[in-house]
Amino acid sequence: MTTSATREKDMKPHISIRDLEVFYGEHCALKHVSLAIPPNAITVIFGPSGCGKSTLLKSLNRFIELTDGARQYGEIRIDGINIHDPTVDVTEVRKRVGLLAQRPHPLPMSIYDNVAYGLRIHRKHNGRNLDGLVQHYLEQAGLWGEVKDRLRAPATALSIGQQQRLCLARGLAVEPEIILGDEPTSALDPTSAQHIEKRLLELKQSYTIVLVTHILRQAKRLADYAVFLYLGEVVEHGPADQVFGAPKDPRTQAYIGGEI
């Protein structure tokens, strides 16, 4: 019989984090974080607000470097490659590791051009089969049926939930390996949030997905692998059924029980 512990032991991680520390000025936001994130699964990083979840997420695609005063130590490897190696192109890292933010930020152009933009820039498509690819990624994001008759309309005319799915389609179009989600449903109504959750559950068959949330119910619904972060430290991590069903650390128990 294969147990959760056996699966974790045998897992070859897609992302390996070793002794990661992040400082904002003199404040230490992450303290000696070491994790192995599995491929083709949803890893959920959960914990209270201000505990370092978004900082950890932004470290995975080097967005943390865009923050003034941020300093980072330790090692992050994707497919065994150190993303901070001098020979590694930061643009390529951010292409391989897409980010779905809290609030959608569609480009100031049409629905069609939002998806086609990345295809033209990164994949050098000049129109041949572009229509089919735009349709494909809108379908992947669960938006095609709602926008197929108004592709030339401005993206800003969409509802906020539709805009978030459009941003997902735009991110998928550059063919990332990893999708990061920084509380991607927090600004959405319940129906729109369900759309995003459904898409992510489908996409994990082809992508490694890492989500941040402070909503415990959502973490339990989505997670295959769970990481409890508290005051900048990884308190507990492992298969979701283990972390949520039989947490070992008293702090995890207290958080899941609503005591902290």
Neighbouring CB atoms inside 10 A of 107's CB total 16
Q: pLDDT higher for 209 or 123?
A: 209
**Tokens encoding 215:** 């909503």
Predicted confidence band of residue 11 (pLDDT cuts 50, 70, 90): low
Radius of gyration of the chain (CA): 19
- Euclidean distance between CA atoms 62 and 93, whole angstroms: 8
pLDDT in tens, 181-229: 999 999 999 999 999 999 999 999 999 999 999 899 999 999 999 999 9
Predicted confidence band of residue 5 (pLDDT cuts 50, 70, 90): very low
Half-sphere exposure of 3 (CA within 13 A, CB side): 5
pLDDT at 122: 72
pLDDT at 260: 82
Instruction: Kindly state the percentage of the chain with pLDDT values over 90.
Output: 87
152: Cβ contacts below 8 Å, ≥ 6 apart:
110, 111, 112
- Euclidean distance between CA atoms 130 and 190, whole angstroms: 33
Predicted confidence band of residue 119 (pLDDT cuts 50, 70, 90): confident
Predicted confidence band of residue 29 (pLDDT cuts 50, 70, 90): very high
pLDDT at 123: 64
- Euclidean distance between CA atoms 152 and 59, whole angstroms: 36
pLDDT at 6: 38
151: Cβ contacts below 8 Å, ≥ 6 apart:
110, 111, 112, 134
CA terminus-to-terminus distance, the chain: 36
User: Helix, strand, coil shares of the chain as percentages rounded to 5?
Assistant: 40, 25, 35
Average pLDDT, the chain: 92
**Tokens encoding 158:** 């969409």
pTM: 0.91
Length of the chain: 260
Residue range 27-52: mean pLDDT, rounded:
96
pLDDT at 156: 96
pLDDT at 129: 85
pLDDT in tens, 142-165: 999 999 999 999 999 999 999 999
Q: Which helix (H) or strand (E) holds 255?
A: helix 250-256
Q: Where are the domains of the chain?
A: 4-107+177-256
pLDDT at 46: 97
Q: Are 118 and 142 in contact (CB under 8 A)?
A: no
pLDDT at 118: 84
Placement of tokens 């129109």 in the chain: 127
Residue 3 has pLDDT above 50, yes or no: no
Predicted confidence band of residue 1 (pLDDT cuts 50, 70, 90): very low
Q: Are 226 and 240 in contact (CB under 8 A)?
A: yes
Q: Are 104 and 166 in contact (CB under 8 A)?
A: yes
Placement of tokens 């295959």 in the chain: 224
pLDDT in tens, 195-208: 999 999 999 999 99
* Arch. (CATH architecture) of 4-107+177-256: 3-Layer(aba) Sandwich (3.40)
